[in-house]
Chain A
Amino acid sequence: MQSPRLFPLLLKATLLLMLFNFAFPLLSGLPLGKLSLYNKVFPGRERFPFGENQRGYNLSLFNLDAMFAAHVLVGAPKADDEYRVLLIGDSSVWGTLLTPEQNLAGQLNSQNISACGKNVRAYNLGYPYISLLQELMILDEALQYQPDMIVWLTTLESFPKEKQFGAPLVANSPDRVKRLITNYQLPLNPDDPALNHPTTSNQTFTSRRKDLANLIRLQLYGVPWSATGIDQFYPKSYEPAQTDFEADDSFYDIKKSEPLRDQLSLDILDAGLNATDLPMILVNEPILISDGANSDIRYNFFYPRWAYDQYRVMLAEYTSSRNQPYLDLWNLVPNDEFTNSGVHLTPFGESLLAAQVGDAIQNFCE
C-alpha cells in the first residue's frame, strides 16, 4: 500500500481539527450532560457530585444535567407506595464530612417513616455553597422527578442579594439563570457580569475541553463510587468551627439602620415557595451558637447576633403571613455537635435534625 503524502495529510488533519473546533458551538444545545452511565451501569449517587479531592472519587462540575443524571433520583422509578421527599439546601444538607448514611437524607431513610400511608424516601439535593438562587435552580429542575413534598432547608447566609450570582454553579449556568429570571419574574439582571456568558470563542471544542473532560471523569469515577460507596474524601482530622471572634458585628455591607428585609433576596424564596402546589416545608437550619470570645456579638463565624435575630423574626412573620409550613430549628443542636463550620453537623446533630424533619414530613403531608 502506498503511504499517504505527509504535507497534504497534515493539512487535512489540521483543517478537520479546526473545522471540528469551530463547529463545536453548534452542538452547544445538545444536552451532553444527560448522557450518563449512572443509574444504568453504575448506581446513582446519593448526592450531587462535588469535590476536588480524587480520593473522594468525586469532582465539581457546573453542568446541572450531568449532576442530575448522576443522582439516584433520576434512576429511581417511583413505587406506588413511595412518598418522595426532596431535600433542598446547602452543604449542611449535602453532608460535608458525613457519609451518605449519616447525612439528613440518609438518616431520614433509615428511620423508615411513613407519610400519608406511604413510605418516605428522602433524596439529598443539597449542594455546597450558600445561595437561594442556586437552591431555586436545583428545585426547578427537580420538580420533574415526581416529588410528593419539598423540604427546603435554608439559613440567613443564603439570602444576601450580593451572594446570589456568586455560587459557581449559578455563575456557570447563565442560560438556566435567564430562564429562571423569566419564568419566575425575578428582579435580577440576566446580563449581570457575574454570570459567565458564553461567547462563540469560548464555546469552541478547545475552550470547552475541561468541561467535556469533567463529564468523562464523572463517568469514570462511577467505578470507584460503585465499588466503595464513597463519594467524598473524609479527612482524619479537620479544623473545628470557630468559636472565638473579633469584636465585629458586620454582616456583608448591610447596615443595621436599614431594614434587613430590603437587603435580602426574599423574592427568590418567594419564587421557590410558589414554584409548585406540592406541600413544602421551609426549615431554618440549626446554627452553631458559640459561647467563646465575643459570642455576645456573634453567634458564629457567619452571623452577628443583631442580623440573625432580625432574620429570624422576619422569616417567622413572612412564613406566618403566607401560612407557610415552617420550622425554626436554629438552636436545636448543641454547639459541640458541629464539625468544621457553623452549619455543618455531626452525625448526632443530624439525627436531632432528622427527628424534627421526619415529624414535620408526617404532619404536613397531604
Chain B
Amino acid sequence: MGLTQIFASILTILLVAILTRGTSRVLSLLALSVLAVFWFQPSVPLRSFDFWIPSLTIFLVVAVWFITSQTGAWKSRQNLIGLAVIAGAITLVGLTRYIFPDPILTTTTPPRLILVIGFIMIAGISIAALTFLSRRLAFTLTLAIVLLITILLILKSPTLSLQLSIFLRELTGRPTDTASALDFRWLGFSYISFRLIHVLRDKQTGRLPELSLPEFATYVVFFPSLSAGPIDRAERFASDLRKDFALTQDETLQAGQRIVIGLFKKFVVADALALMALNDTLATQVRYTGWMWIILYAYTFQIYFDFSGYTDIAIGIARLVGIKLPENFSSPYTKPNLTQFWNSWHITLTQWIRSYFFNPFNRWIRGYKIPTWTMLLLGQLSTMLIIGLWHGVTVNFILWGAWHGLGLFIQNRWSDLAKKRIVISNPRLQVALNVGGILLTFHFVALGWVFFALSDPSLSQTVFMKLFGL
C-alpha cells in the first residue's frame, strides 16, 4: 500500500464507521474490500491481467465459501445480498472503462463489459458445479487446499513463475522472450491462501463456525490487511464484525496514534534505511568489514520497521471500524532467545504454522519410535523450512529456514541442558546473561537475514566472508 492508498483507506473506513451500522457496515466493508483487491493490484505486463488476477482472487474466495458453508446457505437474504455486492463491485470496476478516460481502480483499462459479465457468469457456473461436487466428493476440501498450495508454489518459485508467464504470453499471442518471473504478480496471495487454507482445514476438522458470505469474504480480503497481514482467524474476525460498534473518541485517538506510528516506521525509518540496507548490489560492492555490519544492521532494522509499520497501519485502520486485528510484532529484537523471537516476530504466521503444520506434524511423528531430539529436530527444521518456502521457493529462503530451524533446535537443547544443570542466584549475572542472550539472538537473526535479503547463496557467502573479515 502506498501513501495515497493508505489515506484513501483511512477516509473510506471513517465514512463506513460513521455512516453505517450492523449489516450495512459489513456489506460496506465487503464492497470496499473487493474494490481494494483491484485497486491495490500492481500492474502486470500481460494485457488486462491487473483485472483478471483480482477477479480470480474473488472467485477463489467465493468458491471456498460455497464449499465450506452449509448446504443451501447461499439462499439466505444476507448471502444473496453479499453475492450481489461482490458481483456489483466487479461490474463497477468493469464499468470504469466507460466512465473514466483513464483507469482509476485498475492500473490499465479494464476489459470490455461483456467479458466482465461473461466472467461473472462462468464463475457462477463453476462455483455451482464445485459446490455440487463438494457435496458428493469427500476429498474436495483437500483438493482445494492442494490447489491453493500449488498456486502458492508457482507464484513463489521463480522458475515456475517464469514458465507460467511464458505459457500465458503464448496463450495471449505476446512475445515470450521478454517473459519474466515477475509478470504474474498476485497481490496478497500469500495471505489470502493461508486464510483460505485455515478455513478449509477448520472445516475438515469440524471447528469452523458458520459464517455468512459477507463475513467470510470480508475476512479473507479485508483491505487493511490484504497485502501484508496479519493473518487473523475467521471466527475471531467475524465476532468483531458482528459486534455493535460506534466509533468513540478514544478509539479514534488510539487508532490514529497507531497509524501515525506505523506511517513513521514505514515511510520514514524503513524507507530511509532502505537506502543503505543490504541487497544484491551492496553485497558485492561493500569493501570493509565494519561497513558490511552496518549495512546488515540497516537491513535488520529496515525489514522490522517496514513490516511492523505496515502492521501498525493495518491494525490502526481496522480499529477505526471496530476490527481488532491481532498483533504481529512484539519487540522481537529484544528477546533473549530464538524461541521468544519467533513468538514475537510475525506472530500470526508463526501461530498459523504451529496450528496447521507443527502440531499435526508432531502428533504424527510421535507415532514413530524415534528419539525425542530427532523428533524435535525434524519438527523445528521442517516448520522453519515451510516458513522459508512461504516467502519464496529459492535456495536462499531454504537456507534461511534451515538457519532458523537449526538455531531453534540448538537453543532448545541448550535451554534444556542449562535448566537441569545451571542454577544462577546472582541477579547481576542473570541480567548479564539476559543481555548476552538478547545480543546473541539479535545477531543470529541478523546473520540469518543475509540469506533472506539476497537472491543467491554465492552472494550470501561473499557477505559472510566480508562480515568476518575473510
Interface residues of A (CB under 8 A from B): 3-6, 9, 54-55, 57, 216-217, 220-221, 223-224, 226-230
The distance in angstroms between the C-alpha atoms of A5 and B256, with both chains bound, is 13
Does the CB pair B275–A6 fall under 8 Å? no
Does B426 count as interface, using CB distance less than 8 angstroms?
A: no
The distance in angstroms between the C-alpha atoms of A227 and B463, with both chains bound, is 13
- Given the known interface contacts A55-B281, A217-B275, A220-B276, the answer about A6 and B287 at a Cβ–Cβ threshold of 8 Å is no
Residues in A whose Cβ lies below 8 Å from that of B250: 3
Does the CB pair B275–A227 fall under 8 Å? no
- The binding surface of chain A is classed by DSSP as helix
Does the CB pair B285–A230 fall under 8 Å? yes
In the complex, chain B residues 270-306 whose Cβ is within 8 Å of any chain A Cβ: 272, 275-276, 281-282, 285-288, 291-292, 294-295, 298
Residues in B whose Cβ lies below 8 Å from that of A226: 291
Cβ contacts B254-278/A at 8 Å (1 or 0 each): 0000000000000000001001100
The distance in angstroms between the C-alpha atoms of A54 and B276, with both chains bound, is 10
Does the CB pair B272–A216 fall under 8 Å? yes
Residues in A whose Cβ lies below 8 Å from that of B291: 223, 226-228
Name the contact of B252 in the complex, choosing from A6, A217, A220, A221 (C-beta under 8 A).
Answer: A6
- The binding surface of chain B is classed by DSSP as helix
Residues in A whose Cβ lies below 8 Å from that of B298: 223
Closest A residue by C-beta to B248 = A6
Q: A-B pairs with the 6 shortest C-beta distances? A: A227-B291, A223-B276, A228-B285, A6-B249, A227-B286, A220-B275
Closest B residue by C-beta to A233 = B281
Residues in B whose Cβ lies below 8 Å from that of A9: 253
- Given the known interface contacts A220-B272, A227-B286, A228-B286, the answer about A3 and B249 at a Cβ–Cβ threshold of 8 Å is yes
> What is the minimal beta-carbon distance from B462 to any residue of chain A, in angstroms?
13
Interface residues of B (CB under 8 A from A): 249-250, 252-253, 272, 275-276, 281-282, 285-288, 291-292, 294-295, 298
Given A221-B275, A224-B275, A227-B282, output 14 extra A-B contacts at Cβ < 8 Å. A3-B253, A6-B249, A55-B281, A57-B275, A220-B275, A221-B276, A223-B275, A224-B276, A224-B295, A227-B276, A227-B287, A227-B292, A227-B294, A228-B291
Residues in A whose Cβ lies below 8 Å from that of B288: 227
> What is the minimal beta-carbon distance from B11 to any residue of chain A, in angstroms?
14
Residue contacts A-B, CB under 8 angstroms, 14 given: A3-B253, A4-B253, A6-B249, A6-B252, A6-B253, A57-B275, A216-B272, A221-B275, A227-B285, A227-B287, A227-B291, A227-B292, A227-B295, A228-B282
> What is the minimal beta-carbon distance from A230 to any residue of chain B, in angstroms?
6
**Most A Cβ at <10 Å: residue of B252, B282, B288, B298:** B282
Does the CB pair B294–A5 fall under 8 Å? no
Residues in B whose Cβ lies below 8 Å from that of A3: 249-250, 253
The distance in angstroms between the C-alpha atoms of A226 and B288, with both chains bound, is 9
Residues in B whose Cβ lies below 8 Å from that of A227: 276, 282, 285-288, 291-292, 294-295
The distance in angstroms between the C-alpha atoms of A333 and B454, with both chains bound, is 43
Closest A residue by C-beta to B282 = A224
Does the CB pair B287–A229 fall under 8 Å? yes
The distance in angstroms between the C-alpha atoms of A223 and B298, with both chains bound, is 10
The distance in angstroms between the C-alpha atoms of A217 and B275, with both chains bound, is 8
> What is the minimal beta-carbon distance from B298 to any residue of chain A, in angstroms?
7
Closest B residue by C-beta to A216 = B272
Residues in A whose Cβ lies below 8 Å from that of B272: 216, 220
Residues in B whose Cβ lies below 8 Å from that of A224: 275-276, 282, 285, 295
> What is the minimal beta-carbon distance from A175 to any residue of chain B, in angstroms?
29
The distance in angstroms between the C-alpha atoms of A347 and B90, with both chains bound, is 59
> What is the minimal beta-carbon distance from B281 to any residue of chain A, in angstroms?
6
The distance in angstroms between the C-alpha atoms of A54 and B281, with both chains bound, is 11
Residues in A whose Cβ lies below 8 Å from that of B292: 227
> What is the minimal beta-carbon distance from B250 to any residue of chain A, in angstroms?
5
**Most B Cβ at <10 Å: residue of A5, A217, A220:** A220
The distance in angstroms between the C-alpha atoms of A230 and B294, with both chains bound, is 17
Residues in A whose Cβ lies below 8 Å from that of B281: 55
Residues in B whose Cβ lies below 8 Å from that of A230: 285
The distance in angstroms between the C-alpha atoms of A4 and B254, with both chains bound, is 11
Closest B residue by C-beta to A228 = B285
Closest A residue by C-beta to B285 = A228
Does the CB pair B275–A54 fall under 8 Å? yes
> What is the minimal beta-carbon distance from A103 to any residue of chain B, in angstroms?
19
Closest B residue by C-beta to A2 = B250
Does the CB pair B275–A5 fall under 8 Å? no
